[in-house]
Structure 1
Amino acid sequence: MVKKMMKKVVAAMMAAVLALGCLAGCGAKEAQTSSASAVEASEKSVEVQEESAAESGAGSSAEGETESGADSLADSASLLDGHLVVYIANEAASDWQIISTEYLKALVESAGGSCQIMNPENDASKQAQMVEDALVLKPSALVIKPIDQAAIIPALQKVNEAGIPVITLDTGLIENAEVDVACAIQTDQTSLGETAAKYVEKAASEGGYTANVITVLGDMSSNIAQLRQSGFNDYAATTDNVKVLAETESKWDPSAAYTAVMDMMTANPDANTIFCCADCMMSGVIQALGELDRLAPAGDEKHVTIVGIDADPNGCAYVEDGYVDQESEHNAALHSDIAYKVIVDMVNGYDIPETIFFDTTARNIDNIKEAWGNMDVKNVANWGVMEQDAYVMQTPAQ
């Protein structure tokens, strides 16, 4: 669905994040080995970027390719003149959120607007207060990634009363919420889990074995975690060779994921497959397998099949190392590109869809270099808009 995707991630921004003690994913605390893993991932990215530059000269683009940076930015220079966009994230530490916020900010500013990012640090009550604070700024649009899909409703109702359009990004609201959402933008979360299960079934069929799966779940109070779980389990239930032995809620925390894998693998010694519901927990999975002497790359007889979700920088590195077999891509940049185009169309009087759902892309060793986790974060201001077909902007370039 997405055509080609930008460049490789540069280490500088990731290293800065790690230096501040930030985690690589979902807003939870890193496991003991996460800093080393992220640094290794960043170093690998730099090496690959240098190789790509040497091969292509100007630097090759990957899936969801940006329209030639300077030209596309110049064309859109006044599309949002005088408009303020407020983006209230859930946190500002994860790779996903860093790319999402920085990219949307760059796009809005390149179009002559301004973008204020607010970081509630995964605190739902703080996020609700930030929504109310944003009302004073009278933005043209409020973009939000809800932390608590129910608790945020009263605050968003006040945004409705003020006549400010609400755009939910990546995370929606509870069903039948009495909030007017101008546009909900989200990867089909069920497809993320289902894509992982399809790979597990295929690997088991080709290998002539039954996939005995242990699952590292996210925060099950979130519908994102619920949909990823059901996507995997519902598909697995239709097969004869995928069996889920155990599941443990790990709340997007790599330390909890480490403990979960240690416990589940010990209790289920015949487990040969791990489904990790988000890359922010993957370092804990890798650490646990290493301590259990079960960590080995694909092709090694000790290899445990691992499927993950996100394709963030660490996830990409683990695929390249052979430890993770497939990632269901949860594309941070694509979400923000769509949000930008929706905002431009909205303020310029075009009708916008109430919901934009899009499927994942399966990433493996053959195409992992094209994943969003391998984008050049340092150059975000010059990316320009993406060439993608999930949402095409209606407003003509000026």
Structure 2
Amino acid sequence: MNQFRKGTRLALVLTICGLLLSCAEPADNAAKSNEEKSENQKPKIALIMKSLANDFFSTMAKGAETHQQEHSDEYELVVNGIKDERDLSRQVALVEEMVASGVDAIVIAPADSKALVPALRRAREAGVVVINIDNKLDQEILEAEKIEIPFVGPDNKAGAKKVGDYLAKQLKAGDEVIVLEGIRTSFNGTQRRLGFEEAMKAADIKIADSQSAQWEMSMANTLALSMLSEHPKVKAILAANDSMALGALAAVKNNGKAGDVLIVGFDNIAAVQQAIKDGQILATADQHGDQLAVYGIEYALNLLKEPQAKLEDRETPVDLVTAEVLK
């Protein structure tokens, strides 16, 4: 009887072992399958920009989408933008939404150099690669938040100085000009203002007034009309982006000073290219908006492949655009 029981127990143990082994094999296979799926899954990159109503950012979006289509086997792309340049809360929300959706990287043109840093720190803590393009994040805030986020973009001060230097050649010492600034808490806006100021100082040209139109065409139009009335001797308007240059152009026409007041901008959007060809705007700076996001995306892809790579800023081209260049 005891031998029978021992035999029965042995058979039962062997049966259970067989069942466990048969169950373990599919589980191992499933784990391997999940690993392979994870390895083969394409990274998802979110591009978060400022206002898509601005032609510069719609051009940026198209450039990024074209690049993704040409490299569709390498990554997926999600494109986002905000209603206008001042909608900071929505841009912060977009960062949080993209992190929650599980993106691998965020390439962002921040609407503000300071306000976006805490949200981007949280993204980095969640394991998301973050690349800053167009408008550089504030270095002091980055240090306070104890994070490194590389910047990919042009030297805005140098680009604005190129435009200012070209304008100065059309003026004479002692002439008066006015400046339409971007958002003052934006690094690129500050750098462009400084570039304009450096060029005017070198040519002994007086800046009669300098105010922020917050990158907006309609605000630039209103401000320029007021400034032209207050400073009737003004010979030129330096606008920190092309949307504001177009607003200034409308103001000059309404003021009856078309052809008498020169206008320069920054961004090289299509409407300003045409205005330069037509002799209505003197010059602008091209920071190659169609490629700017692409530079950031390519950097993000490299960091996803080599997560231990050193984080370094990368300077991109900025070129003077005049009627001669557009011929």
TM-score (structure 2 length as normaliser): 0.79
Return closer, same or farther for 1:151/1:182 CA change in 2, 3 Å cut-off.
closer
CA distance in 2, matches of 1:289, 1:118: 34
Alignment partner of 2:224 out of 246, 261, 270: 261
Deviation at 1:135, TM superposition (A): 1.7
Alignment RMSD:
2.1
8 A contact 1:246–1:264 mirrored in 2: yes
Kept in 2: contact 1:193–1:232 (CA 8 A): yes
Asked whether the 8 Å contact 2:130–2:300 carries over to 1, the reply is no
- Name the structure 1 match of 2:252: 289
Q: What are the Cα deviations for residues 231-275 of structure 1, in whole angstroms up to 9, with x where unaligned?
A: 1112322333x2111122211222221222222222222211111
Partner letter of residue 82 of structure 2? Answer: P
The verdict on how the C-alpha distance between 1:231 and 1:348 changes in structure 2, with shifts beyond 3 A counting, is same
Cα distance between partner residues in 2 of 1:141 and 1:161: 12
Q: Distance in 1 between matches of 2:306 and 2:79?
A: 25
Deviation by residue 1:300-352 (Cα, 9 ceiling, x = unmatched): xxx32222111111110110110111112232113123123213322333846
Q: Quote how far apart the aligned CAs of 1:361 are.
A: 0.5
Distance (whole Å) between structure 2 residues aligned to residue 260 and residue 273 of structure 1: 14
1:364 aligns with 2:322: yes
1:164 counterpart (108, 128, 147): 128
The 3 A distance-change label for structure 1 pair 133 and 337 is closer
Pairing 1:1-398 to 2, within 5 Å after superposition = 82-111=42-71, 112=73, 113-122=75-84, 123-176=87-140, 177=142, 178=145, 180-204=147-171, 210-240=174-204, 242-296=205-259, 303-349=260-306, 351=309, 354-368=312-326
- Work out the CA distance in 1 between the residues paired with 2:125 and 2:235: 53
Report if the CA contact (8 A) 1:135-1:159 is conserved. yes
Contact 1:274 1:307 in 2 (8 A): yes
Evaluate the alpha carbon distance shift between residue 332 and residue 179 of structure 1 in structure 2; reply closer, same or farther with a 3 A threshold.
farther
Q: In structure 2, how many angstroms separate the alpha carbons of the residues matched to 1:130 and 1:251?
A: 21
Q: Matched residues in 1 for 2:224 and 2:200: separation? A: 20
1:87 match: secondary structure:
strand
**Matched AA of 1:117:** V
Count of residues in Structure 1 that have an aligned counterpart in Structure 2: 280
- Deviation at 1:228? 0.8
Partner letter of residue 175 of structure 2? Answer: A
Q: Determine the C-alpha separation between the residues in 2 that align with 1:179 and 1:158.
A: 11
Task: Provide the secondary structure at the position in 2 that maps to 1:309.
Answer: coil
How many percent of aligned residue pairs carry the same amino acid?
20
SS at match of 2:159: helix
CA distance 1:352–1:211, shift in 2 (3 Å) = farther
The letter for the 2-side match of 1:106 is: T
Q: Provide the TM-score with structure 1 as the length reference.
A: 0.66
Deviation at 1:190, TM superposition (A): 0.7
Question: What amino acid does structure 1 have at the position aligned with 2:303?
Answer: M
Q: Give 1:356 deviation, angstroms.
A: 1.2
Kindly indicate whether the alpha-carbon contact (under 8 Å) linking 1:105 and 1:114 is maintained by their aligned counterparts in 2.
Answer: no
What's the CA shift string for 1:339-376, capped at 9, x where partnerless? 2321332233384652012352111011136xxxxxxx
Task: Using the TM superposition, give the Cα deviation of residue 166 of structure 1 relative to its aligned residue in structure 2, in angstroms.
Answer: 0.4
- C-alpha distance after superposition, 1:138-157 (max 9, x if no partner): 22211111123222222111
Alpha-carbon offset, residue 181 of structure 1: 4.0
Structure 1 equivalent of residue 24 of structure 2: none
| Alignment partners' CA distance in 1, 2:199 and 2:254 | 31
Query: Considering only CA atoms, is the larger Rg found in Structure 1 or Structure 2?
Result: 2
Question: Which residue identity is paired with 1:270?
Answer: K
State the SS of the aligned residue for 1:117: strand
Write the letter of the residue equivalent to 1:140.
Answer: D
Segments of structure 1 that go 5 or more residues without pairing to the other structure are: 1-79, 297-302, 370-398
| Mapped contact 1:153–1:179 kept (Cα < 8 A) | no
| Distance in 2, Cα, partners of 1:365 & 1:283 | 16
Structure with bigger helix share is 2
Amino acid at match of 1:87: L
Shift of 1:167: 0.5
